[in-house]
Amino acid sequence: MTHLFTKRAIRMVATIALVLAIAISTHSLADAAEFNFNWKGDTGYSAKGIFSYDTTDALSVISETGSGSTKNLQSLSISFFDPFRTLINSFTPVLSGVSNYSFLRFNFDSTKEQIFGPFDVGKDDELPGDTWLNNNLALINEGFSDEVLAKEFGFNNRDATGTKQILDLSNNSVQVSKVPEGSIIIGLLVVCSLGFTLKEKFNPKSKI
């Protein structure tokens, strides 16, 4: 009888935990939007990332510049790959609403779900291994660069001596796709289901 009570108590606690987790996630999702983005150059170099922003007071255009506290952007991460899809480096220019990248340029139209205008995401402290992707032509037009480049986006890094290299150029834009809002909740359901399965597997005598 005690064993039966314990089993039911465990199930009740797990169910309550799941309900609370879903409620918390749903509340968080109501105030945040999350998007994946990717870019590919003409010679095969590529970049993939993800960003999220607070929708509470956000305008239709999310615009961030430089380091310090952001206006709406909550997080921004990017990974860079060579033509063989080998990871070159990964960085998180924005974390918990704070930018640590002084050259950050990020503009996103939430209505059209498009990245546009000046764009500079990655890391550049003039150290070996620093890598970043920027919109050359937009930055030149805004007076941020005096480089003369024929193509819109540039994939850059610094070699072992810290010297800047332009590894790839392309007119391909940065593509954006929204992360489904239910993905977190589905993940919680899967984890919870797995927990029940493992409990029954390793404690078969608990079945009634």
Mean pLDDT across 61-74: 95
**Distance separating alpha carbons of residues 164 and 39, to the nearest angstrom:** 20
Lowest mean pLDDT: which of 11-15, 31-35, 127-131, 140-144? 11-15
Q: Which two tokens stand for residue 142?
A: 């805004």
> Distance of CA 66 to CAs 39, 41, 103, 108, 119, Å?
22, 25, 5, 15, 11
H or E stretch at 16: helix 2-30
Instruction: Convert the pLDDT of each residue in 70-124 to its tens digit.
Output: 999 999 999 999 999 999 999 999 999 999 999 999 999 999 999 999 999 999 9
Q: pLDDT tens digits for 153-197? A: 999 999 999 999 999 999 999 999 999 875 544 444 444 444 444
Of the CA atoms within 13 Å of residue 186, those in its CB half-sphere come to 5
Mean pLDDT confidence for 118-136: 96
At residue 13, does pLDDT exceed 50?
no
Alpha-carbon gap, residue 97 to 70, rounded angstroms? 5
80, 93 contact by CB (below 8 A): no
Collapsed DSSP state (helix, strand, coil) of residue 1: coil
Rounded to whole angstroms, what are the CA distances from 70 to 38, 92, 138, 181, 203? 22, 14, 21, 23, 50
pLDDT of res. 77? 98
Residue type, 147: E
